[in-house]
Structures are given as structure tokens and as C-alpha cells.
């Protein structure tokens, strides 16, 4: 029996697919080279932008023929997109040949659902569940081992679907994280450990007895072994001095911070509910550069947020030019049903968004060239 997993979206999803693979292998499935060979096909989906969802619909649709040929094939769609019950319903209505549709909260029970489907039930399940610490990961990212430290997000940036599909922040116990990392280091295969969370800087804040993120970093660095430590993603409002100090002082921590700014304009930042101003953001960058002179800094930006004027977009351009990032990701704003921003007046034309994203990417390319030439 073989399985095939198609993963969309962020590192969190990549890592969750490693858990799905671990569960399937424990059940006796082996990795298939192609989807045609597989007895179980899993789509682990992303909901962050419309494009990601469109691709899932296209790719699941393409399996109709295969399913006709291979009646016992089990097709599973899971992840952020299917956590939204409307999308899950639409998926089941459009593709009745899909066997299992589950959200983000009960991935750990995927084995149980497969057994249920074999007995002839189609399943759609959304109830909240806990990540089962006892289930294995099948690590697939070469020398890098991902370690999830927390689930969910409490920030509710007005454009973002994540808090709706991943729930509130929930930190793993630091003892479990340290134990997992000790085991990874003992295996000796991994040179790099990357901690994952939507907002790693608020690690521990959901539990008064838990240690802070900087304390967690320091504890991990005490583990004997030859590895570098990295983390993502940081929210500028929560990136405190103690974390910057830990990055500066601990040899094992990679000198790299991904610090999404999203916009360089204060009015737009406020509408986005980002809780910082351009000035505050720049002061954090300054602090990082002072304390960690060789630190690589990267960022995410959204262009064409509702009501964004040309001048306000130019504030984003000037922020990028001023910070001189090592690299940036630029996205066209994509309205996500259920979020505050999707209901705002003043939605921007796709053509304007496209022009703006191209301008920003052109600037990024130019800055990169200057960096390479040492200007």
C-alpha cells in the first residue's frame, strides 16, 4: 500500500505533512513515486490567498479519472482551506469522489479516518483536537528539522485568514520541545533546527507557567551538539529585546530574522491591525542592526490593501529602499471571506495591485543587484 502527499503553503504545512507521512508509514504505507501509484492521496491545503485555493480545486479535480480507474483509491483533502466549513462543503459538492475532508485540528486522527472510509463512510470533520505528541514525524527536509513550538494566532490582522483556520495561540510545553530537539540532535542527521509558529515571539504567553520565547531559545542552545537554530515567524510588535539579545549572544542561533512589515504606511498598518507604526518598525530594525551587525533581515509585504493610495504604496517602496532587506516577499492583497478587510470599502482593482507588486519586485531586484555589487 502506498501514499502520496501534495503540500501547499507555508513551512507549517510542510511540517504537518511530515506528521501525516509519519502516521501513514506507521500504518504500513510506503511513499509512492507518483500519484498514479498511490492508494492514498493527501492534499494538505493553504487558504492564505485565493490562488492557493484555486490550485487545490484544479488538482483535486484532475483526480476524477484516476478514481474511476481505481475504485479503492482514498482521496483526502485537509489543512487550512478545509477548516472553513463553506469551502469544505463546496469541495465535497464539486468533487463527490473525495473521501475525507478534514480541517487543521484533527490531522493526528487521519489514520482512524482512513480506516472508517475503508468501511464505507465519507467523512467531513471539523471539531477541535490536540496535536498528538506521541505520533511520529517523517522528516523530509534534508539537513533541516522543523520543530513546531505553537499553534494558532491571536493577532487578527484584518487581511488574514490564519486565526480563523488555526484557532487561538497554543504553546507546546517547553519540556516536550526540548525533548524533541534532544532526539533530533541525537539522530545526528540534522545540522539545522527551525522553530515554527505563526508568531513565535508570543510563545508561552497563553500559559502563565510557561517560559518565554527567549528563555526557550537559551534552553535549546544549552543542548550539546553541532546544530544551528533558527525560527519563524516574528511579529514586529512582539519582537522584544531579550529575543534580539539571545540571537546576538548565542553562537548556535542563526543571524537571521524574518520580520514581516506588510506596509510602510501608518494609516494602512492601522487598518491592517498590525499594532506598530513605520517609525516603531524602523526602530526595531535599527536595534537589530546595532546588536547583530551581520544579521540577515527579510520581510513580507502586501500591496493593494483596501483603500491603499498610490502615495501610501510609495511609503512601502521607500521602506524597502530604506531597510535594504536581504530579500522580500511581495503579495497582492487577496480578500479572504470572513476577514474584516474583505468587507472594507475601497477594494483595489487587480490591475492596480499587479502594477504595484511588479514595481515593488523591480525595486527588490535592483536593490539585490546593488547588494551583490557591494553598493
C-alpha cell at 316: 512601502
Rg (CA), the chain: 22
Number of chain residues interacting with ligand 5AD (CB under 6 A): 12
Within positions 301 to 340, which residues make up the interface with ligand 5AD, using CB under 6 A? 302, 331, 333-334, 336
Phi and psi at residue 249, to the nearest 5° = -95, -30
Rounded to whole angstroms, the Cα distance separating 55 from 53 reads: 5
User: Which of 79, 260, 264, 306: binder of ligand 5AD (CB under 6 A)?
Assistant: 260
Rounded to whole angstroms, the Cα distance separating 63 from 103 reads: 20
Q: Tell me the residue number closest to ligand 5AD, measured at CB.
A: 300
DSSP codes joined into one string, 256-312? EEE---B-S-HHHHHHTT----HHHHHHHHHHHHHH-TT-EEEEEEEES-TT--HHH
Nearer to ligand 5AD, 106 or 299 (CB): 299
User: Which of 91, 160, 271, 320: binder of ligand SF4 (CB under 6 A)?
Assistant: 160
Phi and psi at residue 329, to the nearest 5° = -110, 130
Within positions 232 to 271, which residues make up the interface with ligand SF4, using CB under 6 A? 235
CB of 233 to ligand 5AD, least distance (A): 7
347 burial (CB, 10 Å; 0-12 / 13-18 / 19+) is middle
CB distance 286 to 295 below 8 Å: no
Out of ligand 5AD, ligand SF4, none, what residue 15 binds, judged by CB under 5 to 8 A for its kind, is none
| CA neighbor of 207 nearest in space, from 184, 166, 176 | 176
Out of ligand 5AD, ligand SF4, none, what residue 163 binds, judged by CB under 5 to 8 A for its kind, is ligand SF4
Rounded to whole angstroms, the Cα distance separating 149 from 133 reads: 12
Out of ligand SF4, ligand 5AD, none, what residue 334 binds, judged by CB under 5 to 8 A for its kind, is ligand 5AD
Indicate the helix (H) or strand (E) that contains 79.
strand 74-79
**Residues 6 or more apart whose Cβ sits within 8 Å of residue 53:** 45, 46, 47, 81, 87
CB of 300 to ligand SF4, least distance (A): 8
Window of 115-123, 155-163, 202-210, 211-219 that interacts with ligand SF4 by CB under 6 A: 155-163
| CA neighbor of 47 nearest in space, from 164, 150, 146 | 164
Decide if residue 155 touches ligand SF4 (CB under 6 A): yes
Decide if residue 198 touches ligand SF4 (CB under 6 A): yes
Query: Which x/- pattern over 198-237 shows residues binding ligand 5AD (rule: CB under 6 A)?
Result: ----------------------------------------
Decide if residue 330 touches ligand SF4 (CB under 6 A): no
Decide if residue 139 touches ligand SF4 (CB under 6 A): no
Q: In degrees, to the nearest 5, what angle opens at C-alpha 202 toward C-alphas 14 and 238?
A: 110
CB of 105 to ligand 5AD, least distance (A): 20
Out of ligand SF4, ligand 5AD, none, what residue 153 binds, judged by CB under 5 to 8 A for its kind, is ligand SF4
Decide if residue 194 touches ligand SF4 (CB under 6 A): no
User: Which of 21, 63, 81, 153: binder of ligand SF4 (CB under 6 A)?
Assistant: 153
CB of 232 to ligand SF4, least distance (A): 11
Phi and psi at residue 361, to the nearest 5° = -70, -30
User: Which of 12, 160, 229, 272: binder of ligand 5AD (CB under 6 A)?
Assistant: 160
Task: List residues binding ligand 5AD (CB under 6 A).
Answer: 48-49, 159-160, 260, 262, 300, 302, 331, 333-334, 336
Instruction: Give contact residues for ligand SF4 (rule: CB under 6 A).
Output: 153, 155-157, 160, 162-163, 198-199, 235
Amino acid at each position: 500500500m502506498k501514499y502520496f502527499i501534495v503540500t501547499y503553503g507555508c513551512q507549517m504545512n510542510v511540517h504537518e505533512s511530515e506528521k501525516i507521512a509519519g502516521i501513514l508509514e506507521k500504518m504500513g504505507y510506503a511513499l509512492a513515486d507518483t500519484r498514479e501509484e498511490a492508494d492514498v492521496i493527501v492534499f494538505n491545503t493553504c487558504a492564505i490567498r485565493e490562488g492557493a485555493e484555486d490550485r487545490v480545486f484544479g488538482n483535486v479535480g484532475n483526480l476524477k479519472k484516476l478514481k474511476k480507474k481505481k475504485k479503492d483509491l482514498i482521496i483526502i483533502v485537509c489543512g487550512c482551506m478545509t477548516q472553513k466549513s463553506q469551502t469544505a462543503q463546496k469541495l465535497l459538492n464539486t468533487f463527490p469522489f473525495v473521501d475525507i475532508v478534514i480541517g487543521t485540528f484533527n490531522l493526528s486522527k487521519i489514520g482512524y479516518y482512513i480506516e472508517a472510509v475503508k468501511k464505507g463512510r465519507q467523512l467531513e470533520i471539523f471539531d477541535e483536537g490536540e496535536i498528538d505528541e506521541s505520533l511520529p514525524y517523517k522528516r523530509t527536509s534534508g539537513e533541516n528539522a522543523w520543530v513546531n513550538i505553537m499553534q494558532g494566532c491571536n493577532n487578527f490582522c484584518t487581511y488574514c485568514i490564519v486565526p480563523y483556520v488555526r484557532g487561538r495561540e497554543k504553546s507546546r510545553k517547553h519540556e516536550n520541545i526540548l525533548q524533541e530537539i534532544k532526539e533530533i540532535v541525537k539522530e545526528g542527521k540534522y545540522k539545522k533546527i527551525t522553530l515554527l509558529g505563526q508568531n513565535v515571539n508570543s510563545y508561552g504567553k497563553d500559559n502563565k507557567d510557561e517560559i518565554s520565547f527567549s528563555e526557550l531559545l537559551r534552553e535549546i542552545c544549552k543542548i550539546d551538539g553541532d546544530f544551528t537554530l533558527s525560527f519563524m515567524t516574528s511579529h514586529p510588535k512582539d519582537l522584544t529585546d531579550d529575543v534580539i539579545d539571545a540571537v546576538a549572544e548565542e553562537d548556535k542561533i542563526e543571524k537571521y530574522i524574518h520580520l514581516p512589515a506588510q506596509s510602510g504606511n501608518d494609516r494602512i498598518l492601522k487598518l491592517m491591525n498590525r499594532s506598530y507604526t513605520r517609525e516603531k518598525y524602523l526602530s526595531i530594525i535599527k536595534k537589530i542592526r546595532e546588536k547583530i551587525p551581520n544579521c540577515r533581515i527579510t520581510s513580507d509585504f502586501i500591496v493593494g490593501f483596501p483603500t491603499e493610495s498610490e502615495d501610501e504604496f510609495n511609503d512601502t517602496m521607500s521602506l524597502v529602499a530604506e531597510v535594504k532587506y536581504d530579500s522580500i516577499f511581495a503579495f497582492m492583497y487577496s480578500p479572504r471571506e470572513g476577514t474584516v478587510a474583505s468587507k472594507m470599502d475601497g477594494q483595489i482593482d487587480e490591475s492596480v495591485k499587479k502594477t504595484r507588486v511588479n514595481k515593488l519586485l523591480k525595486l527588490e531586484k535592483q536593490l539585490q543587484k546593488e547588494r551583490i555589487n557591494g553598493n
